[in-house]
Structure 1
Amino acid sequence: MTHGSSTSFMVKRTPLLSIEQLELSYYEPKKIVPVVQNVSFQLYPGETVALVGPSGCGKSITAQAIVGLLEPGFKVTNGSIIYKNENVSKFTNKQLQKLRRDEISLLIQHSLNGLNPIRTVKKQMIETLKYQKRWKKKEMEPYLHSLLQQIGFTDPDYILASYPFELSGGMRQRVLLAMMISLRPKLLIADEPTTALDVINRDKVLNLLKMVQRDYNLTVLLISHDKQSVKHTADRVVQMGLGGIVSESTATLQCF
């Protein structure tokens, strides 16, 4: 392949996810209140993009909109969310469930809230695998063992037998990450994965994200209010301001 044809190929590269002029609003009685406006950015296959901005600017609600998990009262009122050339903001609930099961995983902000406190980690991880109906029962536990080892647990049996409240915040966050990876998504959205973690555990989780992104060929949208902590993990940093306007620093732009 000549240099010219290679350049031509790169220019035509298609985004995996494209957010276009997105507006999210909250419906009050007799009134629609825009919460996020004019948000536009793209993710290309295999890259990690950090979406950063101050608390309250709408980063998390944007993530929820992508996977169709907006809280009651919130709706997409303008723009589009294009995933693999389909506008997922027009999807039915059934289509969105399939999207979350087969394509996009959302790692939520508060790790304890993401796990059932009265069920063991093993039961919850096996339940997650059952969503896809691709696993035989005898295959599940060995797979979970290898997955937990891969993300740094030296004693998978102990983790699987534990209840969430018996684990530290950093350990719970890694368990949730393992659950998300177990679905083998194409896109992983990590919403403030290091909130409430100390500096050592924060760096561990960010390094882990980088590792699994590489090992599982994931595309990652990393949401954070802390630009400094994520800039070494991300290929690009997209800045979101109050009101939702998104910009990218030319220093972090990559051409495709």
Structure 2
Amino acid sequence: MKLVRYGSVGQEKPGVLDSDGRVRDLSAHCDDIGGETLTPRGLEALRKIDISSLPLIDGIAQKDLRLGACVGGVDKFLAIGLNYADHAAESGMDVPTEPVVFTKWTNCIAGPDDDLHLPPGSEASDWEVELGIVIGSRAKNISESDALDHIAGYCLVNDISERDWQLKRGGTWDKGKGYDGFGPIGPWLVTADEIADPRALKMWLEVDGHRYQDGSTATMVFGPAEIVSYCSRFTTLQPGDLITTGTPPGVGMAQKPPAYLRDGQVMRLGIEGLGEQTQRVIGG
């Protein structure tokens, strides 16, 4: 299934894509795409629905029908840094021996095609196409062998980062990662049964038509099972929690000279099987 949240900002409703790529309304069957809906029991209930019998929503998704973030009511948004060896190299950092974990505050979550408003005075806002993991059942101190059973599905994430605040202002990375709008997710949550191998997905990102990132999840240092198991050691993961898993090379910081986001630019990004995003940049 491809689950979506559609409608105006703050008024999103749950939906599902039908075989024609049109949005069907799920409001009669769940309150939102999040929490209990994403548990094994919740997803099994949705799978029993005849999608063609659901109300058809006017408009075409991502054209004249806005999609919001594909998960609602997120409690935790964790992130993994330097999880691609070639990205670590371009950043001048060692490949980690354990996952590098930071947080993206939930206020950063945005729809896949919402405008990106740069923070006031930002001179170093950057892009990062990433695979997002959506948790489907409570996970605490779980093994790698059991971890995939706790994943509801996957989604596309743009881990937007203000590099000056992330790297030059002291403290943790979190400060550069949590601005409003710095975490577009979606367009849809693809349930795990539809992704045969999350470590074999092509991924890319362009700014104004120039392709900066062109990689694959195959080069991740730590895969989804390792990441979920590791994170469950120090926090209890709940249904609807998000983990974004790192980016391949090609970020703006690594260009020579560095290339950062500017007013009027347009980002486009995608991951095989998980859809595409488009964000217009508005200066701070």
TM-score of the aligned structures, taking structure 2 as reference length: 0.22
Structure with higher Rg: it is 1
Greater relative contact order (Cα 8 A, min sep 6): structure 1 or 2? 1
